[in-house]
Amino acid sequence: MAMGYLRTRYFGETTQSPKRLVAARENVSYGGQERADRYEHEILAEWSSWGGKAVLAKYGREYFIELRQRRTNYPKYSQSPVIRPNWRLIAARANGRKGGIRRAEYYSVESLQAMARLGGIATRNRYGNDFFREIRKKRRYYLKSYITPKTKQKMHQMMLDMCKAESNPFARWAMQLYHGEL
């Protein structure tokens, strides 16, 4: 008898048959549904409040405040309550964010830009230029009036060249508005 207990306790072996274990795991979710069908909403709410009051008495109000501060997943109200979040994905995103923050603390802006540039070059070498075109095609949302810094610099240089050549009076007027007197 003692040896069977030790085997069950330390080696994970069970005395029940696998069929009974599977049935028990499948039927465990029906317990809450049966209780909800059998009792009224007010009684269920009272029972759940007893549990909250017991935790409050045991740990105090600071416990709940600390729990809310540690919470990272805020479900959307438009989301169905049946859909359960993928906790691995949520943890991976949180860890990735922490890693990015830590990397930003350790490296300068120039080295971060160099790493990003090398990553982009490696991606282009591995997948080709068409890879980036396909990603841009899949976008559903574009920022309004978004211009990259490189494009701004090119446009600025083009406007300066046009202004110096005085070929277009509108360009000169626009540059005076943009920069003041040249």
Tell me the per-residue pLDDT of 17-36, one tens digit each, with 9 for 90 and over. Answer: 777 777 777 777 677 777 77
Mean pLDDT of 38-52: 83
* Residue 4: per-residue pLDDT: 47
**Mean pLDDT in the chain?**
78
Average pLDDT over residues 104-113: 92
DSSP 56-115: HHHH-HHHHHHHHHH------TTS-TTSPP-HHHHHHHHHHHHHHHHHHHHS-HHHHHHH
